[in-house]
Amino acid sequence: MVGLISCMKNNPLLCDTESGICELPSVHTENEPGAAGPGAIEPGEKPVKIIYFTDPICSTCWGIEPQLRKLKLEYGQLVELEYRMGGLLPDWSYNSGGISKPTDVAPHWDEVSHYYQMPIVGDVWLEDPLHSSYPPSVAFKAAQMQDEDKAIAFLRRIREMVFLEKKNIARWEHLADAANHAGLDAALFEEDYQNNAVTMFEADLQLAAEWSVRGFPTLLVFDREGRYEKVYGFKPYEVFEAAIAKMHPGAPKAWYSKNWQDLFGKYPTLTAKEFAGLTGQSFESAEQQLRALHKEGLLEDYTTPNGTLWKLAAA
């Protein structure tokens, strides 16, 4: 672990599993939580606004999907979650020392997968490595220009592609396929990807710089007066809850159905870790239930050496 941490300054893809952070090469001074930051943040329509700085290939961001999915179900009526792209991997030119090429990342992704109990396969860095995370980040902004919910579905799909299916999501054919999967207008998506989305991505990078975002995931949790709490890196669900409660004291949880059919109706694909968090089961118990449903022909699986992705069986 010490060797990996010492290399993080050279490669942001080597996320520190102990701190739960994928850190950018240049580290900025942090703003103090609880006070107004450097850039004006417009309040949302809901009492709490979360600005989530992320990146399509941030492995720790994949690791907090269980927490975010539960948060949306329990606090979605109070919280507006705004996704911003942070630019984790501009290119490989800054690398030096022990981490100098994509193949160095592959074993680390396998390690991260076991640590967060989320399926991640590092073989994309051996077979068809990304030159940058900027193309899929721009593509997300193009999707966001059409529809926020479809953009989130698009982001989920490209993460499944890169983390489980070993697909280079910097390639247009994979981005186009994910856009189709998310129900986006293909022609408009391509036009925006080539034009306006680039400007929107640059605006996200500027906002991240203004708020001294130095790694991912970073979530800034605001109240209506502009006060905020920062949730930085991989954190248990209770930390997300505490930040919301501080910005909106007495925030009530919404009830949601923990029935497996209802959960898959809300989230078309689920990992065992996500299913465990949403149903309140242990990881082992959740896996047993999912495998039993698969045996009954009710679920389909996409299995990797480091875990499985589940979805409803085709009718």
pLDDT at position 100: 66
- What's the pTM? 0.90
- Give the residue ranges of the chain where pLDDT is below 50: 1-10, 27-36, 96-98
Which contiguous run of DSSP H or E holds residue 299?
strand 299-304
pLDDT at position 302: 98
Long-range contacts of the stretch 66-69 (C-beta < 8 A, 24+)? 66/118, 66/237, 66/271, 66/273, 66/274, 66/276, 66/277, 66/278, 67/235, 67/236, 67/237, 67/240, 67/277, 68/240, 69/267, 69/274, 69/277, 69/278
Which contiguous run of DSSP H or E holds residue 261?
helix 260-266
pLDDT at position 13: 65
What's domain 260-312's architecture?
Orthogonal Bundle (1.10)
181-198 pLDDT, tens digit each: 999 999 999 999 999 999
167-177 pLDDT, tens digit each: 999 999 999 99
Torsion of CA 226, 232, 236, 241, to 10 degrees: 0
Topology agreement, domain 2-215 and domain 260-312: no
| β-bridge pairing 79-85 and 48-54 | parallel
Which contiguous run of DSSP H or E holds residue 293?
helix 283-295
Domain locations in the chain as residue ranges: 2-215, 260-312
> What proportions of the chain, in percent to the nearest 5, are helix, strand and coil?
45, 15, 40
Round to whole Å and give the CA distance between 62 and 116: 9
pLDDT at position 93: 76
pLDDT at position 101: 81
CATH code for the domain defined by 2-215 = 3.40.30.10
